Chains A and B, each alone.
Chain A
Amino acid sequence: MERVLFGDNQFFGVNHSSDEKARAQTIRFQEDDAIMAVLDSAIDEGINTFMCTTHDRIGEICNRIRGNDKYKDFKLYPCMPYAHKYANAVTELGYLGTIKQFVPGNIFSTFAKGGLAFMKKDFNELARLMIDAEMKMFKGINTPVIWVQNVITDLLLGLGMTDFLVTFYRHIKEKYQAEPGFITMNLPLLLDSLEKAGIENPTVCASINKIGFRMSGGIKKYEEVIAQKRCRLVAMQVLAAGAVPPKEAFEYVCSLEGVESILFGASSRANIHQSKSIIESCSVLVHG
């Protein structure tokens, strides 16, 4: 993984500190051209990895990138699923209705793969089919790391259903020949659970910042676990939704030796440039 990864929250109105800012961003990135322009700036600044949700609009971004020589070195890290899509479907249609809507093919026909899995109540197979449905839009795109979103990772952790995390891990390795990644707000618990399930040195993305925001169990526990180097770690929410100034924020996260990559999002070339330069200068200081 590269040291700096570019995120997508700003494009889809996700802002952890202000719903008002989130709405302003939704308006600004209404057209795909606006998203592409920012991605182009990121590429100009030397960032070649875009970590993105499997939001419907990413499908359009994939269509622009696919086969275009300009983006031949550009990598996408898909993060699945876009959870609100499913959460709203469950409220509106129930579990059965949601499975019907998102598992490809007729789930009531045993001639269809989904139907057979459904009849046999093979939930692991249903999970694989839903992963495949989410991955469809990335056909022909370089996706070396494929992530499962924190809401799913953490839900499965709490339920003790670690076997689905293993299913995800194996399916991504076998079918997509990619590295499976786990996004989490519960880093210490995740590593313990994955190791128990036989997954060593997993690729993980977790909230890591100077003020301990969304670091469940507290910042001390996190620093201990990070220092143990039990995973390939991507730090997200480094700015703690804007609560820590960039220089201070990146200095902190660069000082942690167990952090391999840093994920951040920005809407302007100036901010991309500033963040990347700070990360690079801090990284040189720490890692020589």
Chain B
Amino acid sequence: MIRTGIIGLGKMGISHCAILGAHPDVKLVAVCDSSSLVIDAFKKHTRFQCFTDYRKMITEMDLDAIVIASPTKFHTEMVHYALDRSLHVFCEKPFVLKAEDAEVLAEKAEKKKLVNQVGYHNRFLGTFNEVKILLQMNVLGELYHFSGESYGPVVLREKGSTWRSQKGQGGGCLYDYASHTIDLIHFLLDKPMDVSGTQLKRIYSNDVEDAVYSSIILQNGLSGQLSVNWSDETHRKMNTQITILGKKGKIIADATEVKIFLKEANELLDLPKGWTIKYLTELTPNVDYYLRGEEYSSQIDHFIKCINNSETNNKSSFRSASYTDQLISKLITDSK
């Protein structure tokens, strides 16, 4: 049993808490949050040890692993502290605010051979994994363009009062939404290296951007577009979609389906000429405990599996997340 603690009981922290609480290989022993409202609820209604100081929790609870789901501006200090005490770390996205810190942390975790993961859950979706396989099989031939998009209804009015609406704390559509889209582009295509024509638009927020539009160039030379908007109420919930165009056809994928168009049939993969649609129902393996989506349980399963078996390569390491942080810095610089 892996003795685990959680820092931060916001939306993601609580969700991780339930998933870890139901996990057969995990003993979730402690939680930590600075809000007395939340901690009192946990004290009264759960079996977990409750803390308001994460250092105290780590010192007293003899943990093997920690999940960090606090506001982004605290990640660097907390991850350092946990790695120094030799804990395996799962950290929520985006990883850190200063790209240089991300590299230092990745190096530290690698040197100490500690499992390190960032919560980019799209990497655990059946549909996007199918796209990755199709691309590895070169189903689209030479690629010439991509488009990564995320839309959803987060900020729809001119108010708001949490850290997500404050500048410099990891709030804003760029950190909260676009980080997912950038990471997905990296996962499926290649490392994003450079940006141009970036526009960070404020729609309802005073302090942060509500939309991000930019052109991105990847390490392999492929270029494409990023279009992200968290003030779009035509979407019921966050929807991330990637479109990839190649000389032999096109793929459009989101969390629920993969649409493949081929100019000619691909016999090796048994794909006909024209359109093929694959749904998540055929691409998603069952999980032992379900909350909000299989991918949230799968990414925690993967973290635990990496701890139990040191041979397993992590699918969403600090190192890979550091490239997303670097690109976010470039987007900010380019927009000025």
Question: A-side interface residues toward B, CB under 8 Å?
Answer: 12-20, 22-23, 26, 84, 87-88, 90-97, 121, 123, 151, 154-161, 163-164, 185-186, 189, 211-218, 240-243
Question: A214 near B290 (CB under 8 angstroms)?
Answer: yes
Which residues from B are CB-within-8-Å of A212? 286
Question: B279 near A241 (CB under 8 angstroms)?
Answer: yes
Question: A84 near B160 (CB under 8 angstroms)?
Answer: no
Question: A216 near B287 (CB under 8 angstroms)?
Answer: yes
Which residues from A are CB-within-8-Å of B111? none
Question: B290 near A157 (CB under 8 angstroms)?
Answer: no
Question: A95 near B289 (CB under 8 angstroms)?
Answer: no
CB of B56 closer than 8 Å to a CB of A: no
Interface-central residue, A91, A213, A240, A243, by most chain B CB under 10 Å: A91
Do A159 and B18 contact each other (CB < 8 Å), given the known contacts A91-B162, A217-B286?
Answer: yes
Which residues from A are CB-within-8-Å of B223? none
Question: B257 near A18 (CB under 8 angstroms)?
Answer: yes
Which residues from A are CB-within-8-Å of B290? 154, 185-186, 214, 216
Can you list 15 residue pairs at the A/B interface with Cβ under 8 Å?
Answer: A16-B280, A19-B241, A84-B237, A94-B161, A94-B162, A95-B38, A121-B37, A154-B291, A157-B18, A160-B47, A161-B46, A164-B45, A216-B289, A217-B288, A241-B281
Which residues from B are CB-within-8-Å of A164? 45
CB of B215 closer than 8 Å to a CB of A: no
Question: B14 near A159 (CB under 8 angstroms)?
Answer: yes
Do A158 and B281 contact each other (CB < 8 Å), given the known contacts A84-B236, A92-B154, A216-B286?
Answer: no
The A interface is mostly helix, strand or loop, or mixed, namely helix
C-alpha gap A163/B46 in the complex (Å) = 10
Q: How far is the CB of B119 from chain A (nearest CB, A)?
A: 15
Q: How far is the CB of A224 from chain B (nearest CB, A)?
A: 15
Interface-central residue, A13, A159, A164, by most chain B CB under 10 Å: A159
CB of B246 closer than 8 Å to a CB of A: no
Do A242 and B236 contact each other (CB < 8 Å), given the known contacts A17-B256, A155-B291?
Answer: no
Which listed residue, A96, A151, A161, A185, touches B45 by the CB 8 Å rule? A161
Which listed residue, A14, A16, A26, A215, touches B286 by the CB 8 Å rule? A215
Residue of B nearest to A156 (CB): B18
**16 extra interchain contacts, Cβ-Cβ under 8 A, other than A123-B41, A161-B46, A242-B279?**
A16-B281, A18-B279, A19-B255, A19-B256, A84-B153, A88-B153, A94-B162, A96-B37, A154-B289, A160-B46, A160-B47, A185-B291, A213-B281, A241-B280, A243-B279, A243-B282
Question: B289 near A19 (CB under 8 angstroms)?
Answer: no
Interface-central residue, A97, A123, A158, A240, by most chain B CB under 10 Å: A158
Which residues from A are CB-within-8-Å of B22? 157-158, 186, 189
Question: B35 near A13 (CB under 8 angstroms)?
Answer: no
Which listed residue, A91, A155, A216, touches B14 by the CB 8 Å rule? A155
Instruction: Find residues 23-76 in chain B having any chain A CB closer than 8 Å to their own CB.
Output: 35, 37-38, 40-41, 44-47
Residue of B nearest to A99 (CB): B37
Residue of B nearest to A209 (CB): B281
Residue of A nearest to B281 (CB): A243
C-alpha gap A117/B45 in the complex (Å) = 16
CB of B155 closer than 8 Å to a CB of A: yes
